[in-house]
Chains A and B, each alone.
Chain A
Amino acid sequence: MLKLHLEFYKKLYLIRRAEEKIREHYSEDEMKTPMHMSMGEEAIVVGVLEAAGKKSQAFGTYRSHALYLAKTGESDMFFAEMYGKAAGPAKGKAGSMHIALPDAGVMMTSAVVGTTIPVALGAALANAYLKNKRVVVSFFGDGAVNEGVFWESLNFACLKKLPILFVCEDNDFAIHSRLKERLGHKPIAKVASQFYCHTDAASTTDVYEIYEMTRNMLAKMEKSGMPGFLHMKYYRYLEHVGVNEDFDAGYRARKELLPWMEKDPVKMQRDRLIRDGIKENAVLAVEKKIDEQLEKSIREAQKAPFPKKEELMQDVYA
């Protein structure tokens, strides 16, 4: 168990530190890609993806740094892509908003709200068709629930009993508009529960709790053959797009952040490790190793070559 908790912490720390590094370097204007930061949501992807297992396939949004890092654990190609370099998984063509590594199960991420949901559905259909036992996880925000394609997709998944887990990461904001200004129906999970699928909801930053929730959900899904739906609340620490805070913008107050900071997912997991008997020095050693990994990734990405001009015309057709 302690080993699992340490693994969780390594991933949470990797994600948090990678984004802190982005904040540190972004003003140098070498990472020329709009950043939608994951800070605050780390426990959701880490917990869900650990439960879904290595073989699972994940689809995400433009806010997918956490998803990518949780699923791949690597940061060399990640930063190469952020710096627009040829060594990135998409040779710099994707950047932050489309970061993916299909071979590692990070299939597609997208900058138009709701658009990867039906694609995840098709991947699940293929997995059922090929009987390969892979599960698909579709991550999307509360904004996507306002899109017609979300309802089309939920309907079809339930109709066809596809092996897909929908995860709504609800930070209350679609860009800057609150859920209550956008919702003409009962709470999302309640409406989803009227479909032929399993639903669960939580407002927690405890990675282990999320992991257990997801494990239970996947077990139910496997038994019944029905899809699953998780509604998870979190709080976005930084602005919608960009690396800064925006509590002076007027649409939300810093005091909203404070209770979430107290249960910050990274800090919480660190406290748990210490509480469970891991020595502070051992944690520091783990952190140091990850910091060094990130430093190296950034150094190499900065030095790496850009794609050649001819690359623009490549990969348009197979």
Chain B
Amino acid sequence: MYMLRSLTYEQAIAEALGQEMERDASVFVYGLDVADHKKIFGSTKGLEKFGPKRFFGTPLSEEAMTGVGLGAAINGLRPVHVHIRVDFLLLAMNQLINMVAPARFGSGGVLKAPLVIRAVIGRGWGQAFQHSKSLQSVFAHIPGIKVVMPSNAYDAKGLLISAIRDDNPTVFLEHRWLYWMEGKVPAEPYTIPLGKVRLVRKGKDVTIVATSWMNVEAYKAAEILARKQGVEVEILDPRTIYPLDKAALVRSVNKTGHCIVADYDWEFCGFSAEVAALVSENCFGRLKSPVTRIAFPHTHCATTRPLENAFYPNAVSIIRAVEKKLQLKPTDLSGEEFYSWENRFKGPF
């Protein structure tokens, strides 16, 4: 019997790391500032007890440190490399795409690279265009890499343990607003298979495929739509962008006939386009409306609050999209409370 406690997302990640390091001496955690007093939003807290050999900060050398992860992985270790912003991981794209991703293929299946690259994504507070990206579509575009995006504390722990035990390189993307979110998390280690959706909410009218933070926004939208419009939205969280649980997405859209993809990334050439194509190929005759995509516009995130607000889609964007799809009258949103930096979301959703 599992012992459930309420943990925040960041505590769930720290617990997963600690338990895996306990279980397997080949697991080590490193990266810029992982061991400083802030401990990556608290997500590496408590790992000091494993000593500096297994838990250490690094020089500002993202590319070399990614190569270090690969070299250690092919020699039998299980490194977890942490980036406090996904934007910094861009310095390591050469290693990631030219070396890490094809390492197994290029060796004819001899080498394996069980490397986890954690990166913090998404909106903060006035973080502008270099501290705010997500980039899951970029990573998922590359064969050889798995891409994981947990949207709650329970998934964060289970998926991180799976990623560490997986023999492939995995990019693990954590939205920084989710760090505050609490959820029921078993004390024991557990795994969640990579490539299985989570049914966030059951519904019959519209399917929403939401990634990362957009699950929080979609859940809020669904709750308002149910209360004020009597509409039942079904929300699916793919949890892993690659491998993608295509069958579950197709099943849901075939049931509802409507699909909205709420992706926390740029729209153009993004994951939302991938899902739209999947739905078009597999649900064409069952669709009652074209797929709607909600994602970042083809511009950059600005610092100033009004433009930052305009950049990121939210629950209101989802509500408006559902209204349009089902030809509903505009929902009265007066008195509804939405999320912002000042109004932190604690969850669970």
The segment from A1-9, A65-73, A108-116, A217-225 found at the interface with B is A108-116
Check: B257 CB closer than 8 A to any chain A CB. no
CB pair A122–B73 under 8 Å, yes or no, is: yes
Q: Considering the chains assembled together, what is the distance between the CA atoms of A149 and B61 in angstroms?
A: 8
Given known A112-B94, A152-B63, A318-B104, contact A123–B75 (CB-CB < 8 A):
yes
Identify the closest chain A residue to B111 (Cβ).
Answer: A102
CB pair B104–A316 under 8 Å, yes or no, is: yes
The segment from B64-72, B117-125, B155-163, B203-211 found at the interface with A is B64-72
Check: B306 CB closer than 8 A to any chain A CB. no
Which of B63, B75, B94, B110 is the one whose CB lies under 8 Å from A127? B75
Check: A197 CB closer than 8 A to any chain B CB. no
Check: B106 CB closer than 8 A to any chain A CB. yes
Check: B290 CB closer than 8 A to any chain A CB. no
CB pair B64–A121 under 8 Å, yes or no, is: yes
Check: A159 CB closer than 8 A to any chain B CB. yes
Given known A115-B94, A119-B70, contact A93–B64 (CB-CB < 8 A):
no
Given known A112-B98, A115-B95, A126-B77, contact A93–B63 (CB-CB < 8 A):
no
Identify the closest chain A residue to B70 (Cβ).
Answer: A119
Contact with A along B53-85 (1 / 0, CB 8 A): 100001101011111111111111101000000
CB pair A129–B28 under 8 Å, yes or no, is: yes
Most chain B beta-carbon contacts within 10 A, residue among A89, A108, A116, A148: A108
Which of A117, A123, A152 is the one whose CB lies under 8 Å from B74? A123
A131 CB to closest chain B CB (Å) equals 11
Given known A98-B106, A156-B61, A317-B144, contact A119–B94 (CB-CB < 8 A):
no
Interface size class of A (residues with CB under 8 A): 35 or more
CB pair B98–A110 under 8 Å, yes or no, is: yes
CB pair A115–B104 under 8 Å, yes or no, is: no
Check: A88 CB closer than 8 A to any chain B CB. yes
Q: Considering the chains assembled together, what is the distance between the CA atoms of A91 and B110 in angstroms?
A: 10
Given known A107-B74, A119-B99, A129-B77, contact A153–B64 (CB-CB < 8 A):
yes
| A117 proximity list for chain B (CB < 8 A) | 64, 67
Interface residues of A in 33-88 (CB under 8 A from B): 57, 88
Q: Considering the chains assembled together, what is the distance between the CA atoms of A119 and B75 in angstroms?
A: 10
Most chain A beta-carbon contacts within 10 A, residue among B58, B63, B64, B104: B64
Check: A130 CB closer than 8 A to any chain B CB. yes
| B94 proximity list for chain A (CB < 8 A) | 112, 115, 149
CB pair B108–A122 under 8 Å, yes or no, is: no
Task: Give the total of B residues in contact with A, Cβ under 8 Å.
Answer: 42
| B110 proximity list for chain A (CB < 8 A) | 89-90, 102-103
| B293 proximity list for chain A (CB < 8 A) | none
A4 CB to closest chain B CB (Å) equals 29
| B105 proximity list for chain A (CB < 8 A) | 93, 315-316
Check: A192 CB closer than 8 A to any chain B CB. no
Contact with B along A165-189 (1 / 0, CB 8 A): 0000000000000000000000000
Which of B67, B76, B109 is the one whose CB lies under 8 Å from A126? B76
Check: A238 CB closer than 8 A to any chain B CB. no
Interface residues of A in 195-231 (CB under 8 A from B): none
Check: B107 CB closer than 8 A to any chain A CB. yes
Most chain B beta-carbon contacts within 10 A, residue among A100, A102, A123: A123
CB pair A149–B64 under 8 Å, yes or no, is: yes
CB pair A318–B108 under 8 Å, yes or no, is: no
Check: B33 CB closer than 8 A to any chain A CB. no
| B258 proximity list for chain A (CB < 8 A) | none
Given known A94-B106, A98-B106, A110-B98, contact A316–B68 (CB-CB < 8 A):
no
Q: Considering the chains assembled together, what is the distance between the CA atoms of A54 and B84 in angstroms?
A: 40
CB pair A115–B108 under 8 Å, yes or no, is: no
Check: B112 CB closer than 8 A to any chain A CB. yes
Identify the closest chain A residue to B71 (Cβ).
Answer: A122
Identify the closest chain B residue to A317 (Cβ).
Answer: B168
Which of A98, A123, A315, A317 is the one whose CB lies under 8 Å from B71? A123
Which of B61, B71, B76 is the one whose CB lies under 8 Å from A155? B61
Q: Considering the chains assembled together, what is the distance between the CA atoms of A98 and B107 in angstroms?
A: 8
CB pair A90–B106 under 8 Å, yes or no, is: yes
Check: A232 CB closer than 8 A to any chain B CB. no
CB pair A148–B63 under 8 Å, yes or no, is: yes
Given known A119-B67, A155-B61, A156-B59, contact A129–B72 (CB-CB < 8 A):
yes
CB pair A156–B68 under 8 Å, yes or no, is: yes
| B70 proximity list for chain A (CB < 8 A) | 118-119, 122
Which of A108, A122, A153, A316 is the one whose CB lies under 8 Å from B72? A122
What 9 pairs across the A-B complex have the smallest Cβ distances?
A: A122-B71, A118-B67, A90-B108, A126-B75, A152-B64, A152-B61, A318-B167, A315-B109, A122-B68
Q: With A120-B71, A315-B107 given, name 17 new contacts (CB 8 A).
A: A90-B107, A90-B108, A102-B111, A107-B111, A108-B74, A108-B99, A110-B98, A115-B94, A115-B98, A118-B65, A119-B95, A125-B72, A129-B77, A149-B64, A156-B59, A318-B104, A318-B167
